[in-house]
Structures are given as C-alpha cells and as structure tokens.
Structure 1
Amino acid sequence: MPHATDVVPAPASLHEGGGEVVLPDGARVAADPGMRPAARWWRRASEDAFGVDLVPAEPGGAADVTFVRDPAVPVGGYRLTVADRGGHALVHVAATDGAGALAGAQTLRQLAGPQAFRRAGSAPLALPVVTVEDGPRFGWRGVLLDVARHFLPKADVLRFVDLAAAHHLNVLQLHLTDDQGWRIEVQRYPRLTQAGSWRRESGVGTWRAERYDGRPHGGYYTRDDLREIVAYARERGVTVVPEIGSPGHVQALLTAYPELAARPGAHEVRTTWGISEDVIDPSPAAVDFFAGVLDEVCDVFDSPFVALGGDEVPTTAWRERPDIVARAAALGLVGPDGEGDVTRLHGWFLSRLADHLRSKGRRAVVWDEAFGPDLPRDVVVTCWRGHTVAADALAAGHDVVMAPEQEVYLDHRAAEGDDEPVPVGFARTVDDVRAFEPLPAGLLAVRPELAADLPGTLLGAQAQVWSEHLDSVRRLDYAAFPRLVAFAEAVWNPAASGFDRRLREAHLARLDAAGVEYRPLDGPRPWQRRPGVAGYPRDLAAERATAGWAGMGGWVEGRDGAEPGE
C-alpha cells in the first residue's frame, strides 16, 4: 500500500512514530539565519498546494515549524522530526548549512503526499509522525540539460530546476552552445544571438536518415533571463553551471563570426546532428574572443564552475593549415617527429581559457577528451566516454565527475523494443540507472589503486539529457523520468532498498501531481511513440566486449570520420 514515508531518494534512516498529524491554518514558521531560504520555499509551496496560511513566527516566539542551524549535522544533510502535539504537528528541521535545510524541506514536502506537488488545493496539510536523519553520498549530484540542440523556454527550464531540486540534485549543467544553436546573450558580440541562435530546419531522427522537418528553430536567453534562472535555482539549492563549448561544437558561433574559423568562408548553423569538422582556429585572437564571452558568463552566473566543453574536436582543419602547424611548433607543442603537433593545440587552447577563469575565481570543467598533459590540474574532468579515463584523470590529480554514456545518458532509449521513440544509444532501464555505480567493482578489480587515496577526488556524478531528439518538454519528460529519479537515489543513498516499490506505490503519484509526463514503467503510451522516425540503437554488450572500461566514445582521432555519432 502507498505510504507517505516512501520517500525518494530514501533517507539514511527513517523511523515512524505511528499516526498522522495536521498542520493547521495559521501555523507559525521560524527559521535561523541561513535556514530562511529553505523555510520560505517550503512555506510558499505548502501554502499553494494546501490552501493554508503559514505565518512567520514572531522573533523569539513559539513556532509550530522550525528550521534551525545545528553544526552537529553533517554537511548537506539534515535531521527532521514530526511530532504529535495533541493532534497538531510539531515540525523541526535541523541542518548545518542551507543545502541541508533545503534537502530537509524537500523531504518534508514528500511526506505531505502527492497533493504537495500541486500548485493549488484545499486539502489538510497532514504529515506522518517520523524521525529522519539523512545526508548525501556525493557533493556533486548533477544533471545536464541541453538547450542548445532544442531550445527550451525559460519557464520550462525553471520547471526542470524544480524537478531536479525535488530529488536532491544540486547541480544543473546548462549546455548553452553547440553547432546547432547559441543560446546566451553576449552584449560584446551581438551577432552570436542575431545569427547563431536559430537554424533554418532540424534533422528528424538520426542524421544517417537525412530527414529534415523544414521548420526554422531558435531562441536564446537574455542576461536577465539567465540571472533569473540562476537565482531561482540558488533558492532551491541548485547551482547552475554554464557550458560554453570550444574549440569544437562551434558551428553556430562560426556562423556569426566566421573569421574565427579554422576553415575560411561562410558558415551556417548546423541543421543536423553528429560531429562537425568546423572548429575554432586556436589562435590568440580566438582566446581573446572567448575570454570576452567568459567575462560576461561570469558576470551572469555565480557558479564556482564554468564548463568549457572540449569534447569531439576533429583536427582535420588544423592539419590542413601550415600556419596552424607552425603555430603549434612555435608554442613548443611538437610530436615525436619534432614537427608541430596540432592535436596538442586542443589542450593549449582550453588551458588558456582555464587560466582566464582562474583569474576570475572560477574553476574550469571539461569533457574527458580534453584530459592530457597540457590541461591544468585544477580543471575538473567530466568523464563520459567510459571509466578508464576517469581512473587516469584521478591518478593525474584532477577532480572528476562521472557521467558515462553507458550508464547515465537519459536521452538514450529506456528499453529494447520498436515502440521506443527515436531509439538511440544504449537501452538503459530504470533498474539499470538505479544500479549505477560511478566506480564499479569491475573497474576497481583492474585498477586497484582507485581504492587508495589519489591526488584527484571523485566529486560525484551527473546524468545527461541531450536534446537532439527531444524537441518538446513532453519528450524531455519522457526521456528523463522516472530514470532521473533512479539516478538521484544512486548518488544520494545507494544502500537503500525497496526503490521499485517506493517508486511504483508512492512516487509516480507525486510526478503525476507535478504534471510530469514520464515514461510508464510498462512502456510508452500511444502518443509517446514516434513511429517511422529512425534512431540508431547501440549494443552495450558488444561495445563493452570491444572497448572494455575505456568505452567507444563519440569520435576518436584516427579512428572515425567527421560524423560518427548521434
């Protein structure tokens, strides 16, 4: 039977006291400094959902709900009690920091049942009598949202922030630029949005099918839009990490400023998916250009991290230019033959941008292709191609975020079968995602040094929601949920049991109340299918047999052509 204490992610400990109590209209809410954002958010959400007035308590006065600072509680965790005081609830949330208080507030919301996820109502605000003690496994519990391939209006981004926060996820990596669109206003370079924020049409399904919709697509966020998103997320305990990709995945940028291209001439915002050979000319002028972009990024975003991309960078265009080869040699970037090694310009370029971010008090984050001897050690490496590179990066002293496509790419198909819409990538079920382990036992068996202290630190993990085939918020919901719920528990409390029961009997009702059009556990609804749209399924067992823990990756120098992937 469904029960309000079936919380997701499961707390470290939850003890039921028996019975249910009600917070009446006019209940008083008090909060210590630093805990007030959590108290304010919970009070507003509860007032809307239940139609009650929750009144801020007078300073020093009695309160029915208290949010207090307690340094004895572990960082990011909380202690929550709901007691019975003559049939009325007495609620106490203790945390050592604001993040923990917000996590406690989210659990308190779940305890109030599905109605708490609606935006209006008049039901009693009833809570079970419980004692909860909880805390996170990792400090980085992230999800990437790709708004470059398909633009998502601001209201839908805010909604996604709410859903991430509801599951104790605390990092939203916002993928703002790519070959298919530039989504961030940069006042210094207005053509980025004038020319780079829209494309004349979009591919439908895999690029291999060469099918297009004939419909222009575009959009971008103003600086004020992004400041609002950042503030909204901050109030919910979510840090927004902006991603500005380079030196590859830049065709939209080169449409606006073709003088920065390694290949001269006019460019067009890319209308298909895959990987483009159009890359930046890694020159001092390009470094200065990106430094100007990053100055404005740092002015808008308060995150201590800024993502620079660095993935899937074909070097063909660099090899074709003798001046770029000579530039590599002049910089001391040479290969075994003593000639200029243009592949090392990849690391050189990103290291210059990382230096610029460091001067502004920020840390760079890159995808794992950028890992190498030219990358500064304070740069965070997000490992997506597999696990071997993560082991190498940790051993080299980099902090690492695990995001393997084999496990936590939520745009990949949710099951085998012909009825999955645009079936790309690996089949990853809810159970598969719930079983995700950033450093699995099989890897530790072949890399035993990972069990010891290494120069680098595993910060946590991140699920990815790429949007090549997610052209609406309905498709986004289908791809992300409920697998994102499973991921959230894997990175919060992997030792918990009973996930399937808690999801089926309690949490899906919360998602229903929140209006999330998730994929049903037994398969898509008729209108969630996309018959006739070709995907590109991949065989996980076959790729693991070939590549092992290293993974196949999206594009590998010397192995692949210009357009190997989705």
Structure 2
Amino acid sequence: MDLIPAPRACRRVPSSGHDRLDAGTLLEARAGTEGVARWFRATIGAATGLPFPDGDTTDNRVVLDIDPGLAPEGYRVAVDGHGLRIQGGSAAGVFWGAQTFRQLLGPEAFRRAPVDSGRAWDVPAVVVEDAPRFPWRGLMLDVARHFLPKDDVLRYVDLLAAHKLNVLHLHLTDDQGWRVEIKRYPRLTEDGAWRARTKRGHRASELWDETPHGGYYTRDDIREIVAYAAERHVRLVPEIDIPGHSQAAIAAYPELGNTDVVDTTALPVWDTWGVNPNVLAPTDNTLRFYEGVLEEVLDLFPAATSPFVHLGGDECPKGQWKASPAAQARIAELGLAGEDGLQAWFIGHFDRWLAERGRRLIGWDEILEGGLAPGAAVSSWRGYAGGIAAAEAGHDVVMCPEQYVYLDHRQGGGPDEPVPIGYVRTLEDVYRFEPVPPGLSPEAAAHVMGTQANVWTEVMESRSRVDYQVFPRLAAFAEVAWSTRLPADPAERDFAGFERRMAAHYRRLDALGVDYRPPGGPLPWQRRPGVVGRPIEGTPPNV
C-alpha cells in the first residue's frame, strides 16, 4: 500500500473493494478521541473539502475509538464494508491510525485545500494493524544557530506527526543565540538573541553574511507550540545548554563567565562555528541564575508533555576552569576529581533540582564524564559507546550517533552537494541504521528508549535548507524508529522495497511543500557553489 512507516500487518478485504468518502460521510468521535476529530476535520477535511459532521446513524461514517486491548500507541484501521474504523490503544494510537488513513487516501490528502472538486475519495478495503517499536521517536531541531520562526516550528510538528515521530527536541540556546524569552532575565533575548553577522559555510570559510541575525520565541509562542504539538501527540524536549555552549548567555550577563581569566564584558554573541572556550563559571550565582531560567522553562513546558529537560553538557572545554583560581578553589572546596568532576557537579546539581520538580534530566553523552547523575538519561551522539555504557549501568538512553543520524551530514559525494558537511550519509545508510547495537545485554537493551535524528543548522540559513537536509532521509529514519517489521540485521532490510514505496511518498512531500533532496541529486537552486564545507573522506569510524 506504499505506507511509510511500513506497518506490522496490512491485508486487503477483497470482497469489499473500497469505501468512499462523500459529503454525507459522518465522523463519530467516541470518548477520548475529540482531539483527533479536530485534527481530522482541520486536515483531512481541508484537503477533501468534506465537512465530516458529527453522527452515528449510518454505515457511511468514520469511527474514532479507543480500544484498551491495543498497545498504547498501537492502532487498527479497518475498511471492510461496515463503516470506516480507526481504533487505537489510546488517543495517540487513534491519531497514528488517522495518519495511516490519510496515506490511504492518496497524496492529494496532504494538501491544504481540494485541487479537484469533482474527485471521488475512495479508500481501499484493507485492515491495517500496527504499533511502534520505540516510545521515543524524535528529531532534534537546532533553532539556536539559525533561528526558525514559530510558524516553521509548527510546520515541523506536522511533518513529524505525518511520519509518526513523537518527540521534537528544540535546541534553544547556544553560543550563537538564545531563543526563548525569560521574563526575569530580559537581556537573554534583548542582547543574547542577536548576532552582528554570521559565518557562511564551515568555520574555515572566508565568507561572511554581514546581515544581523536573530530572533526568539515569546512565552506565548512557546505555549502555542506546546499546545499545537500536544494535539498531535508530539512531546517537546527543551534544551538549555550548560555549562558549555553558553557564550550568548555570557554576552547578555557577563557575570556568568569566568571573569577572573577573561574579560567577559567584551564577549559578543558568537558569529562563527566550532567548540567555544567560553563556559559558565562554577559559582552559586550561576546556579541560581539557571534555576531561575529553568523555573520559567518548566512553566512553559508542562510535565505532561515535556517530562524530560535537556541540559546539553557536551563540548565543554576545561581550559578556563584550569586557569581560573575561583574554579580551582571550587574544586578543592567540593573535593571534586578535577575539572571533569566540576562538570559532573553542574549536571548533578540540576539533575537533583529537576527531580525534585518531577522532571528528568537528559544530556549528551559527555555527561558520563566525571560520573553520571543517578536519574539522568543520555543522548548518545558520539557513536554507540556512550549509550552502551549508560544502558549497561541502568540509565535510559536515546541513540542518535552522528555517524548515522546527523542529518546535517551530506547526502552524496558529488561536487554539487551544498556546503558538504561530515560523512556521506545516503537515504540507504539511514535506512540501515540500527538503534540497538548488537551484543547489548537484554537488560541494557530495555533501557534504549528509542532513537532520534539530529539537525544542526550552522550551514542551514533557511527553512528550505533545513528541508533539503532533513528529507527524504527523515522518512527512512521514521521507518527505523517505528516499524517492527524491519530485520535487526541492517543488511537484511529491503531497501529496494522502501525505494518503491518512496515513489508515492515523494508525491506526499510535494503536496506538503517540502523542499527535499531529489533522488538524482540537488536541483540547481539547491546548490551553494563556492561555500566551503568540511568533507570527511572515507568510512565513518567504528561507532
């Protein structure tokens, strides 16, 4: 049926042929499915031009129903001549079933208005039953390096939902910009959200965009994004980076930096890329400042939809701490094991602080250095090793190794690839990614909550560039994250079959207005001639 992700079971009902949606088709939303009904009318109703009035008096109806016998995110779509039924183990399951139903209607169902008012909306007679492999199926979107306006974030919520992905990790702060309004610290967005210029291409490039760049989400913007995502059963994971990747915050509030070894009053919001030496000072003032930030973040991202808060913890150079008498005094005072212990002290403090408020900390795998906080979870990005160590120690893990699922990495080796970054990671490479590494003990494997693709936007200056890097590879990733049909051995996966199904999926992406990379390579306007990248030759290192 050209469904993506591939469902666990799909069988035709030959005696029924098909059902047809028309102006008389009713929508019966049973208890708990009211939100799905709103989405159905707003999305499928808009594409078909059909009103789908409430009702349960005829077989010409679509029934939304929760069946406790199904897995929580599992669903069943039945088109068998006795009405159209979309059932799920929860409202989320019903919603994923509705996404499959939308695919059954054809690519035109992905448009915002009818393109043919006279067409018949036939639904093939099938029964589709499915449930996801992982509870965490995510995309990390870096809005700090290049800001994406609110409407673009809402659009990505819809794109995730269309692929049955259920986590949007927003990278909200970094050296190059602070993107969330914090009322008690207004300079974070007045000063920290804007940089004077931007390096164009890799940091080795000599090109600059001299246009000031910035932007941020107001508190109401965040509330809108959270509510919009919740209606689509997408959870938000906010990321506030500590103790590294913090120059934008230090530029706004210089006392946050290591003032005894650097003149922090002279630091601007950073305008280039790489690992920045300016890190947070290990002071009580810094702790209180970020507690204040996080109090507002927790208010904006409620526990029901954002149980995890990401605190980064990656790429924190220790040079300033080594040189700082104040930092060295703190290490001695606390009896820490050097600078690595100081980073672990930062993370441990906020792990306890978040746990006391009913949240869980998650961070990049560097938080393993110096000892992992007891309740923390790990985003394993430098390969599998950090995730394996964390899982074997009983910590929950999200697998996102850069060698496979960093979608900022180039998609082909040709000279026309725009701003080539990293290793060549093709559509097939992503399809053959396996989140659970071989040899992991069953007990440790149970700690792999799922997987996530990451999109770092240093060289993505627009929504169109983000689309190009993300798609079509996100479709392959979604199948890896969702489908229980894929063999665990990546070599045994039917990539040729996936490519055949992608022929239909490209038409869905066209209808959605996604500026994806075509199978034959970049179109002329997708290239960036003369903009320096950072190609890494050869095979990625052992992960």
Q: Please classify the TM superposition score into its range, dividing by the shorter chain length.
A: over 0.9
Aligned-pair distance for 1:343? 2.0
Which residue of structure 2 lines up, in the alignment, with residue 493 of structure 1? 483
Which residue of structure 2 lines up, in the alignment, with residue 143 of structure 1? 139
Q: CA RMSD in A?
A: 1.5
| Cα pair distance change 1:210/1:351, threshold 3 Å | farther
Partner SS, residue 342 of structure 1: helix
Q: Report whether the alignment pairs 1:397 with 2:400.
A: no
Tell me whether 295-304 or 256-265 shows the greater mean CA deviation: 256-265
Aligned-pair distance for 1:56? 1.4
Which residue of structure 2 lines up, in the alignment, with residue 31 of structure 1? 29
Kept in 2: contact 1:198–1:269 (CA 8 A): yes
Equivalent in 246, 249, 254 of residue 253 of structure 1: 249
Structure 2: 5+ residue runs without aligned partners?
487-493
Which residue of structure 1 lines up, in the alignment, with residue 50 of structure 2? 52
Kept in 1: contact 2:198–2:211 (CA 8 A): yes
Aligned-pair distance for 1:373? 5.0
Kept in 1: contact 2:282–2:330 (CA 8 A): no
Deviations along 1:405-453, one digit per CA (max 9) or x if unpaired, are: 0000001101111110000011000011011101333xx2xxxxx1331
Kept in 2: contact 1:398–1:456 (CA 8 A): no
Which residue of structure 2 lines up, in the alignment, with residue 413 of structure 1? 410
Structure 1: 5+ residue runs without aligned partners?
335-340, 445-449, 550-566
Q: Report whether the alignment pairs 1:100 with 2:96.
A: no
Which residue of structure 2 lines up, in the alignment, with residue 422 of structure 1? 419
Equivalent in 108, 118, 122 of residue 115 of structure 1: 108
Kept in 2: contact 1:161–1:172 (CA 8 A): yes
Q: How many residues align?
A: 522
Deviations along 1:71-93, one digit per CA (max 9) or x if unpaired, are: 111121101101235xxxx2111
Which residue of structure 2 lines up, in the alignment, with residue 186 of structure 1? 182
Which residue of structure 2 lines up, in the alignment, with residue 509 of structure 1? 507
| Cα pair distance change 1:31/1:104, threshold 3 Å | same
Aligned-pair distance for 1:63? 6.6
Partner SS, residue 209 of structure 1: coil
Kept in 2: contact 1:396–1:456 (CA 8 A): no
Q: Which amino acid aligns with 2:166?
A: N
Aligned-pair distance for 1:21? 2.2
**How far apart, CA to CA, are the structure 2 residues paired with 1:274 and 1:402?**
23
Which residue of structure 1 lines up, in the alignment, with residue 61 of structure 2? 64
Partner SS, residue 84 of structure 1: coil
Aligned-pair distance for 1:124? 2.9
Which residue of structure 1 lines up, in the alignment, with residue 331 of structure 2? 328
| Cα pair distance change 1:209/1:455, threshold 3 Å | closer
Which residue of structure 2 lines up, in the alignment, with residue 482 of structure 1? 472
Q: Which amino acid aligns with 1:501?
A: R
Kept in 2: contact 1:79–1:132 (CA 8 A): yes
Which residue of structure 2 lines up, in the alignment, with residue 433 of structure 1? 430
**How far apart, CA to CA, are the structure 1 residues paired with 2:45 and 2:323?**
63
Deviations along 1:189-224, one digit per CA (max 9) or x if unpaired, are: 000000000100100111112321111001000000
Kept in 1: contact 2:6–2:485 (CA 8 A): no
Tell me whether 206-215 or 481-490 shows the greater mean CA deviation: 206-215
Equivalent in 324, 331, 344 of residue 347 of structure 1: 344
Partner SS, residue 422 of structure 2: coil
Kept in 1: contact 2:132–2:484 (CA 8 A): no
Tell me whether 90-99 or 243-252 shows the greater mean CA deviation: 90-99
Q: Which amino acid aligns with 2:148?
A: L
Equivalent in 382, 385, 395 of residue 385 of structure 1: 382
Equivalent in 75, 78, 81 of residue 78 of structure 1: 75
**How far apart, CA to CA, are the structure 2 residues paired with 1:495 and 1:416?**
31
Aligned-pair distance for 1:389? 1.3
Partner SS, residue 363 of structure 2: strand
**How far apart, CA to CA, are the structure 2 residues paired with 1:352 and 1:360?**
13
**How far apart, CA to CA, are the structure 1 residues paired with 2:21 and 2:326?**
72
Aligned-pair distance for 1:161? 0.6
Which residue of structure 1 lines up, in the alignment, with residue 84 of structure 2? 91
Aligned-pair distance for 1:67? 1.2
Aligned-pair distance for 1:540? 5.0
Which residue of structure 2 lines up, in the alignment, with residue 337 of structure 1? none
Q: Which amino acid aligns with 1:351?
A: G
TM-score (norm 1): 0.90
Kept in 2: contact 1:398–1:455 (CA 8 A): no
Q: Report whether the alignment pairs 1:159 with 2:158.
A: no
Partner SS, residue 207 of structure 1: coil
Partner SS, residue 421 of structure 1: coil
**How far apart, CA to CA, are the structure 2 residues paired with 1:240 and 1:212?**
33
**How far apart, CA to CA, are the structure 2 residues paired with 1:62 and 1:191?**
60
**How far apart, CA to CA, are the structure 2 residues paired with 1:328 and 1:46?**
59
Equivalent in 451, 456, 460 of residue 466 of structure 1: 456
Percent identity over paired residues: 49
Once the two structures are superposed, the pairs formed by residues 196-345 of structure 1 within 5 Å of their partners are 196-262=192-258, 263-266=262-265, 267-302=267-302, 303-334=306-337, 341-345=338-342
Tell me whether 460-469 or 388-397 shows the greater mean CA deviation: 388-397
TM-score (norm 2): 0.94
